[in-house]
Amino acid sequence: MPEVSVVIAMMNEEESIQPLLERCYKALEQLSYELILVDDGSSDGTIDEVNKYANEHTHVVEFMKNYGQSSALQAGIDQSKGTYIVTMDADLQNDPSDIPMLLELIKSKKWDLVAGERVNRQDGMLIRKVPSKIANYFIRNLTQVQIKDYGCTLKIFRKQIAKNLSLYGELHRFIPVLAAIQGARIHQVPVKHHSREFGKSKYNLNRTFKVISDLILMVFFRRYLQKPMHLFGTLGTIIFGVGGVINSYFLVQKIQGHDIWGKPMLLLGILMLLAGVQLITTGIVLELLMRTYYESQDKKTYSVRQIHSY
């Protein structure tokens, strides 16, 4: 059984495969390891390049189609056998030479998760760095998980933490929060970061809206998963109180002989109150039901075409 499983999600990284594998093999040569590459529906020659350069430690999970980075990382974690599990990107911006350092740190300091921090990040300022800093600030303060760089894929976990992450949708951005919900001891260390050598980033500003939606969910999971009435009870009491005041006002109006039916304020207040409560609670309930659907029945959020071993 390998000590370390390195999980790499890849999509259309044909040009990066040879240098990626060479750097991984060199960095890991002194370790007991397995390398798990998950092909997330590539439409180029990514798989062909892996077939050329893979060694006996390498396994490839090939998806039927593109499911997204979260599902790709989850598939790699599901296949992993190592005591420690590392995740990293395939675009050569993460450096595999940091893995031995991360391994020594998680073994010696008793951490459950050690995350990388890109202190000298080699990305564009306006498109990548500024939105990332803003997102990190809000995630850090709203979830109270004190990680400076949530976007760095290079992380190492103890197996029991990684196996219980249950990644789907776009939740790979919130891995530290999901680990913290399990009670994981989390640490972050500076790691190397390189500019992208081939291709272009899959990142675009449309992700901002997905991040905001997932952040709302993570705040609920982090603060109220085991005590939902602290959220819904307080919110319900406030809404009930405001509704009571409005209804009392219109009751007085009715007693005084005024015709209150059809008043815009009355109708708008009722409609907004019902719509707001229904939208918030329905969204959270659906998320919880989806987690139950996948986890209780051991269903997967992806379909595998085949698994290659070399």
Regarding whether 171 and 45 lie in a shared domain, the answer is yes
Q: What CATH number corresponds to the domain at position 210?
A: 3.90.550.10
Regarding whether 196 and 274 lie in a shared domain, the answer is no
Number of domains comprising the chain: 2
Contact 139, 178 (CB under 8 A): no
Question: Could you tell me the pTM of the whole model?
Answer: 0.76
CA distance linking residue 79 with residue 137, whole number of Å:
33
Nearest CA to 105 out of 156, 148, 154 is that of 156
Regarding whether 151 and 30 lie in a shared domain, the answer is yes
Backbone torsion region of residue 192, taken as left when φ is above 0, otherwise alpha when ψ lies between -120 and 50, otherwise beta:
beta
Q: How many angstroms separate the most distant Cα atoms in the chain?
A: 88
Q: Percent of the chain at pLDDT above 70?
A: 85
What pLDDT shows up at residue 7? 97
CA distance linking residue 269 with residue 243, whole number of Å:
8
DSSP 18-55: HHHHHHHHHHHTTS-EEEEEEE-S--SSHHHHHHHH--
Winning range, highest mean pLDDT, from 16-30, 110-124, 216-230, 251-265: 16-30
Regarding whether 163 and 46 lie in a shared domain, the answer is yes
Regarding whether 125 and 79 lie in a shared domain, the answer is yes
Contact 36, 81 (CB under 8 A): no
Q: What is the mean pLDDT of residues 191-218?
A: 71
Regarding whether 50 and 128 lie in a shared domain, the answer is yes
Regarding whether 214 and 276 lie in a shared domain, the answer is no
Regarding whether 161 and 278 lie in a shared domain, the answer is no
Q: What is the pLDDT of residues 241-291, one digit of tens each?
A: 777 778 778 778 878 888 877 777 777 777 777 777 777 777 677 667 666
Regarding whether 168 and 20 lie in a shared domain, the answer is yes
Regarding whether 206 and 79 lie in a shared domain, the answer is yes
Backbone torsion region of residue 190, taken as left when φ is above 0, otherwise alpha when ψ lies between -120 and 50, otherwise beta:
beta
Domain that holds residue 269: 227-296
